[in-house]
Amino acid sequence: MRTVLNLAYKKLEFVSDDQIPFEFYRKSVQYVRGIDMDDLVFVALTEYLDELLWTGDQQLIKGLRSRGFQKVVDFTEVKEIVLTKK
């Protein structure tokens, strides 16, 4: 498991939330409203970078997917992605 985490951490990029343009926040509100507004910045960042949102919050995953937001994965899916790109 440590190997999987080390491989994943090498791919991380840190971005300040004030670097995300407002239009990505506006677009992302439709996905998180009624689920958890505290996750707005994470969904906006995912949209801005056009990447995947990695979370263990199953309620968030189910809620986002039910609203058409498919760029969300859990640990099991990340492990599969990382291991297939080795």
Question: For all residues of the chain together, what is the average pLDDT?
Answer: 90
Tokens of 4: 């999987």
* Position with higher pLDDT, 11 vs 62: 62
What is the mean pLDDT of the segment spanning 57-84?
Answer: 91
pLDDT at 85 > cutoff 80: no
Domain boundary assignment for the chain: 2-84
pLDDT at 25 > cutoff 70: yes
pLDDT at 86 > cutoff 70: no
Percent of the chain with pLDDT over 70: 98
Tokens of 82: 């990382």
